[in-house]
Each structure stands twice: as structure tokens, then as C-alpha cells.
Amino acid sequence: MMRGLAAPIARRAVIVAWLCGLGALTTFAPYLPEPLAPATLRWLAGLASHWQWAYAGFALFSAALVIGLRREHRWPLLVPLALVAAAWLHQAPRAETFTPTTAAQSQFTVASANLNFERTDHSALTAWLLSANAPDVIALQEFTPSALAMTNSPAILAAYPHRVLAPSDDQFGLGVLSKAPITAVEKVEPADMLATLKLRLRVNVQGHLIALTAIHPMPPINAAYAQARDASLRLEAQQLARTGMPGILLGDMKDTPWSTGLQAAAPLQRASSLAPTWPNVGGWLSVLPLDHVLVTPGVRVGDAGLGVEVGSDHRGVWVRLAL
């Protein structure tokens, strides 16, 4: 019975592998000439390009099935697997790393966490911020009045005496907590319905001035919003590069390293990992890496990982940096 099913299962596995390869190929859609890839097609391709973890997983599973069920005609798998591999090689560039023997003296940890504006219990976040693994600077998205109350508790005030807080009842409140002094603040209010609040700061970390920008763009629900997200990421990357100082861009960017937004953020480089952060199902299952820390060239990366589980639909990210 199983021998009779082997051939149709293998054929379907090859089809799945090819679908994954075609899905992976969407990460290259922005390179098509404008007449061949109008804004709507680029937006749809951008949405499809997010799912590289799924494409890789299903492609490898399909390949294993075919290898196990067939002894010949395995070659059709090579092309889709090559397309998946090409997509993984083509992503927002990774920042330079450091090791304990090459690290500069100035090391610090930054983090980003989307809190989910519907959540009012912030005990897990409080425990993280008061723990030995607490970041030196953290950007908080979906920062609400209840989150503001948490940050104003005596313990959090003592741990993070420097802060810029702009709470909102909707998804677009922002906050930055810092153990290091904040020397300058610019709140960039949204100019229209496609834009969101941004916080541009200067932080004095161990005597080094660092430009830090916290963002949380609108989700790419259509081509116009996707273009606005990309333009916002491009603008903030250019702003940070022009400061002439080490720069950090962090937040829930509503984009993955294979799509147009992070590709537009050159010359910034990805400091956070490729670990998925959304949707956070049960604290263990996510598919898309949407939350990021990007840095200017010259800022080096040590450890990086996911933040603690705070009950949100996103997992936070943290990165250990060195100047």
C-alpha cells in the first residue's frame, strides 16, 4: 500500500518545493524594471517575500520526502532549493560582530518590545527591566497609559531615570527608557494618515554620543502604506548616517530582512537576529521577523536574541553592541 502511495506523494512534494522556490523568488521582485513591477505588484511581492522561514522549512521537508521515497528523478528539487538558498543569502546585511578578545571597552545592550496596546498587565516586562539581564536602553511600541503607569513605578524610575514617553490609547504610542543620559530629543509627529510618531534621541553611553531612533510604522495593508513604510525607513537611515556618530534604528518595523523596507534602510546593517518575532503564539511559535535593531557601519554586534515573553503578540529583541 505504502509503495503505491510513494510516487504520488513524491510528486506532490516536488510541487510544494517548487511553490516554495517561487515564493522565495519574490524577494528579488524590486529589481524588476518599473513597467514590469508596478507598485501593487511590488507590494504583493513584498508580502510574499516575508515568509522565508516557511519556504525554507517546507522546501527542506519536501526534499526529505522525495529523497526518502524516490531513488531517481531527484534533480527537479535542485532549482527550488537553490532559489530558497538564494533568498536566504539575499537579505538585509548583517552588522560586523565582535568577540570577547576584540570587543571595544564601550559595550551596552539595546532592546525593542511591542507591548500590544490591549494588554494592561506589564508584570513580566517589569521583571525583565529589573533583572540582571535588563537592557541599557529599550524602545517600547504600542506604549499605552497603563504602560506609562508601569514605567513610573519607583523601581523602574530608579532603574531607568532617563526616558522619553509618548503614550497613546491606540497602537502608535512610543516610549524609550534609558539607563544612560538622554541629551537631545526630537519627537517627529506624523504628517498624514500614512505616517506614525518617531522618536529621535541622542544618548550618552559611557561618554560616547549615540543617535537612536525608535519607530513603529503603519502595517503594509496596501501599496501606499508599504511605500510609506519604506520611505520612512529610508529617511531615518539617511538621518542616522548623516549624524556622523554611531546610530541605532529600532522597533517593530513591519518588515522582514527579505523585503523592500529593510533593503531600503542602507547603509544601516541588521544587528538583531533572523529569529521570528510575530505572531507570538503561546510564547514559542512565531513565523515572521518583524522586530529589528539596525545600526550604522562601525557599530559591532556581540550577542543577540529574543526578549522575554511579556504577553504580547510580538516577541521583543535585544542586542549587545560595542563601539
Residues 6+ positions from 115 with CB-CB distance below 8 Å: 122, 125, 140, 141, 142, 143, 144, 147, 310, 312
Architecture of domain 107-322: 4-Layer Sandwich (3.60)
- Report yes or no: 153 and 122 within 8 Å, Cβ to Cβ: no
Q: In what order do the strands lie in the sheet with 317-322?
A: 162-166, 174-178, 137-141, 107-114, 317-322, 300-306
pLDDT tens track of the chain, all 323 residues?
A: 445 677 788 888 889 999 999 999 999 988 888 777 788 988 999 999 999 999 999 999 999 998 888 777 777 789 999 999 999 999 988 988 887 665 556 899 999 999 999 999 999 999 999 999 999 999 999 999 999 999 999 999 999 999 999 999 999 999 999 999 999 999 999 999 999 999 999 999 999 999 999 999 999 999 999 999 999 999 999 999 999 999 999 999 999 999 989 988 999 999 999 999 999 887 778 999 999 999 999 999 999 999 999 999 999 999 999 98
Domain boundaries, the chain: 2-89, 107-322
Residues 6+ positions from 59 with CB-CB distance below 8 Å: 16, 17, 20, 21, 24, 80, 81, 84
- How far apart, in whole angstroms, are the C-alpha atoms of residue 31 and residue 46? 12
pTM of the model: 0.94
